Amino acid sequence: MPEFTASDEQIQAVRERWQDFEQRTRAGQPAEIELSADDINSMIAASREARGKIFVSINGNQLRLQASVPLGEFLGRPGYHFNGDITVEFKGAESLENPQLNRIVVNGEQVPSDLLNWKYRSRRLHEYLADYRNSYDIGTIEVRDGQLILRSRTE
């Protein structure tokens, strides 16, 4: 797992941008935030639960997520980890309502396109995305030019 260290100033700057994005979406105003991999990794570094377990990189229109999560936290099996290397390729802005993920690779293997219909704890993965979308009022997600771009719903 690559290590990432963020300064307090980096973390604060990203938090302020995120809080501005959240405030605008809650107020029903159009909002957009562009996050670099360093921005995302700064937010991860600030999270006690995620620090050291997740690393993000962005190359063009591909978002790569590397994860190493101790299974002892979930299954009571200390010493074991879930390790994943996930790459998602985007071809433009996608609605979180029904995203069309063009290519998903997990640990070097392409995942079937119906991934979001798979279930975890009796719920489809698509439903978890809907929860996130509703919690943050996210309309679209896009990865391009090395940036993750989130836009609010403007219904």
pTM of the model: 0.83
Strand partners, 68: 83
- Write down the pLDDT at residue 102: 66
- Which of helix, strand or coil describes residue 142? strand
- Which of helix, strand or coil describes residue 98? coil
- Write down the pLDDT at residue 23: 94
Which tokens go with 16? 């302020």
Which tokens go with 48? 């006690």
Residue 37 has pLDDT above 70, yes or no: yes
Domain positions in the chain are: 8-152
Q: Report the pLDDT averaged over residues 120-144.
A: 85
User: Mind listing the pLDDT tens digit for each residue in 110-121?
Assistant: 888 787 888 888
The rounded distance, in Å, linking the Cα atoms of 38 and 21 is 18
User: Mind listing the pLDDT tens digit for each residue in 6-27?
Assistant: 999 999 999 999 999 999 998 9
Name the helix (H) or strand (E) containing 64. Answer: strand 62-70
Amino acid symbol at 58: I
The rounded distance, in Å, linking the Cα atoms of 73 and 71 is 5
